[in-house]
Amino acid sequence: WQRQHWRSIRTAYGNAPFFEHYADELAPFFERRYTFLFDYNLDLLIFILQKKLGWRGEITFSETWFPPGEWPHGPDLRDVFSGESDKWPEEFQPLPYPQVFAERFGFLPNLSVLDLLFCCGKTGREVLQ
């Protein structure tokens, strides 16, 4: 599935301004076998957010489950990321940035961080702040 996914990404983003700049570094993520999808996603997130976009935040994991609405560390975004909610908190409204098919479809919010990386390069970090 990973090779097929990479081919789809190359087709969709091959003409993006920064695709060729990052393609060789990203390709191994689509060739290496992972036992767990979680490990794959985590490696890819760390690579893109921290190593390529320069995000200095920390990815942490909780060993305690909290019921909805009781997350003690800021806004509870679990429903947003699970797809069960179509509403982002007001402070997390997406900022428009140049996209490959913007002239055809306008700005499409909430796409992959790969879209941001391929379209904006390192300046994509400013969109995330």
> Which of 23, 42, 26, 31 has the alpha carbon at shortest distance from 1?
31
**pTM of the full predicted structure?**
0.78
- Residue written as tokens 């935040």? 57
- Domain boundary assignment for the chain: 2-57+92-128
- pLDDT tens-digit series, residues 50-109: 899 888 888 888 888 888 778 887 777 776 666 555 666 676 778 899 999 999 999 998
Measured torsion, CA atoms of residues 108, 113, 118, 124, in degrees rounded to the nearest 10: 90
